[in-house]
Amino acid sequence: MNVCLLHPFDPRGPKVGGLETYIRDFIRFHPDDINILMIGVDGKGDLPLGKVTDLEVQGRHIRFMPIIHYSDNQIHEAAKSILNSITFQFAAGLARHLLEIRKLLKSGMYTVDLRRVEFAFFCVLMRTPFFQMLHGEGAPKLKMDSLLGRYRFIHNFNEQFAIKHCERFLCVNPMITERIKSLYPSYAGKISTLTTWYNPDIYAPTQFILNDNILRILFCGRLDAFKAPWLMFKVIKNLKTALGKDRIEFHYIGTSEPTRFTEFDDIQDVTHLHGFQPQKKIAEIAMSMHATILTSEFEGMPRCTLEGLGAGRPAVAVHLPQLEAVIEDGLSGYLVPRTSEDKMLEKLTERFLQIWKEIKLGHIDPQKVAHKVADFTPQILLEKVYSYHREVHQRLNV
């Protein structure tokens, strides 16, 4: 059974994010009855475009066809225009190599696993069955760092097109699933939920570091406006006031620039900016923390929170419905009711002080924290995707 992963990404490269983690894990955990071809990006500039190369990725053998050169440094920088974006460049590459890709996919009877709705059109042109996933949406009224925030109408058009033509449309949490079903009721039968996960091979519950009496809090991701970073920074400021500047550290992993928020000025002296980090390094940092923070207005299923829980680190977060499955008050952290910003700030601060006290008293068990995400692993969740591909292949082979 042949499956094609189609995404603007070099699986050999260092880029880390929800989409990239999905692809790496799809490769790493795929069963022996699946052969993988990836159509992607050459981030190193050492492979011929439009040609298939045999690679070893994540300890597994795949076939890889890059269709554009796009360096790893370019990937980490936010595009300023659509024409310069990796999405547009990749779409142009698909157009240039359309005939050879179509021939390759047809000859191998491939199904396609698609992460971005922008490329669904090409799957239809190639007459190839495809599965579409929507990883997140952002909050429509709030600014995003990516071009999606400025060109939302393009995404909406592509989303509708993908839903109409895909085999299945998978959403990252039940709230998105219900929204999509309500917008497109005639396609409700093909719309379902596939949440994100953490990798238990990398993240494992470890004991807390308490010998220096410093509370360490982690956030990993982009600082989009819908994540309310100013509220996050205010919480850290309150904790700095309550504990003392030598007893609190805030660790940020990501490529956004926090200094653009004036609220960051008050916590810069207690902040560690790690910038971009590969997945194993993120895990190493997470396992040296005491808790994670999330103040978002909206999320798909926040991977940083899942990974922190997988490392046995409780989370304090502003309430999101999907987090109820993994954050149990007093056991794996606390969910703070969504209300006025002042009240949320007060409650978030209070909960972190409470968590810190409970950790020092030995009342928070990293093993029990990690158990809350025991069902959120690639071994469990990816098997659903593999089975969807098998169903289509069985139908095509009848």
* DSSP per-residue codes, 80-129: SSTTTSHHHHHHHHHHHTHHHHHHHHHHTT-EEEES-GGGHHHHHHTT--
pLDDT tier, 75 (very low <50, low <70, confident <90, very high otherwise)? low
pLDDT tier, 135 (very low <50, low <70, confident <90, very high otherwise)? confident
Domain assignment present for residue 208? The answer is no
How far is it, in rounded angstroms, from Cα 41 to Cα 53? Answer: 12
How far is it, in rounded angstroms, from Cα 235 to Cα 293? Answer: 9
Domain assignment present for residue 61? The answer is yes
The set of residues, in sequence order, having a beta carbon less than 8 Å from that of 141 and lying 6+ positions away, is none
Task: List pLDDT tens digits, range 137-185.
Answer: 544 444 444 544 555 667 788 899 999 999 999 998 888 899 999 999 9
**One domain, residues 367 and 382:** no
Percent of the chain with pLDDT over 90: 76
**One domain, residues 186 and 236:** no
Instruction: Taking residues 293-319, report their average pLDDT.
Output: 94
Half-sphere exposure of 192 (CA within 13 A, CB side): 11
CA dihedral 351, 352, 358, 361 (to 10 degrees): -150
Phi, psi of 298 (to 5 degrees): -155, 150
pLDDT tier, 200 (very low <50, low <70, confident <90, very high otherwise)? very high
Residue type, 15: K
Token pair for residue 40? Answer: 């992607």
The distance from CA 380 to its chain's CA centroid, rounded to whole angstroms, is 17
pLDDT at 72 over 70: no
How far is it, in rounded angstroms, from Cα 239 to Cα 233? Answer: 10
**One domain, residues 187 and 244:** no
Neighbours of 324 (CB within 10 A): 10
Task: List pLDDT tens digits, range 25-59.
Answer: 999 999 999 999 999 999 888 899 999 999 998 88
**One domain, residues 281 and 188:** no
Instruction: Taking residues 248-252, report their average pLDDT.
Output: 98
Say what the pLDDT of residue 209 is. Answer: 95
Quick one: three-class SS letters along 200-233?
CCCCCCCCCCCCCCCEEEEEECCCCHHHCHHHHH
- DSSP secondary structure letters along 317-347: EE--GGGGGT--BTTTEEEEP---HHHHHHH
CA distances (Å), 13 to each of 16, 27, 28, 86, in order? 9, 14, 15, 15
How far is it, in rounded angstroms, from Cα 275 to Cα 136? Answer: 22
Instruction: Taking residues 228-234, report their average pLDDT.
Output: 98
Token pair for residue 204? Answer: 């494992």
pLDDT at 398 over 60: no
Domain assignment present for residue 291? The answer is yes
Task: List pLDDT tens digits, range 332-390.
Answer: 999 999 999 999 999 999 999 999 999 999 999 999 999 999 999 999 999 999 999 99
Say what the pLDDT of residue 151 is. Answer: 55
Domain assignment present for residue 204? The answer is no
**One domain, residues 47 and 146:** yes
Surface-to-core class of residue 28, CB atoms within 10 Å of its CB (0-12 exposed, 13-18 middle, 19+ buried): middle
pLDDT at 77 over 70: no
pLDDT at 19 over 90: no
Domain assignment present for residue 344? The answer is yes
- Asked if 315 contacts 337 with a C-beta cutoff of 8 angstroms, the reply is no
Query: Model's pTM, two decimal places?
Result: 0.83
CATH number of the domain that residue 268 is part of: 3.40.50.2000
Tell me the residue range of the domain where 276 lies. Answer: 215-371
**One domain, residues 186 and 220:** no
Token pair for residue 89? Answer: 């460049």
Domain total of the chain: 2
Phi, psi of 177 (to 5 degrees): -55, -45
pLDDT at 186 over 60: yes
| β pairing state of 2-6 and 168-171 | unpaired
pLDDT at 259 over 80: yes
Domain assignment present for residue 206? The answer is no
Query: What integer best gives the mean pLDDT of the chain?
Result: 91
How far is it, in rounded angstroms, from Cα 78 to Cα 255? Answer: 9
Say what the pLDDT of residue 20 is. Answer: 84
- Asked if 292 contacts 217 with a C-beta cutoff of 8 angstroms, the reply is yes
**One domain, residues 353 and 288:** yes
Domain assignment present for residue 201? The answer is no
Say what the pLDDT of residue 153 is. Answer: 66
Domain assignment present for residue 42? The answer is yes
**One domain, residues 60 and 132:** yes
Say what the pLDDT of residue 138 is. Answer: 44
How far is it, in rounded angstroms, from Cα 135 to Cα 170? Answer: 8
- Asked if 319 contacts 299 with a C-beta cutoff of 8 angstroms, the reply is no
**One domain, residues 167 and 287:** no
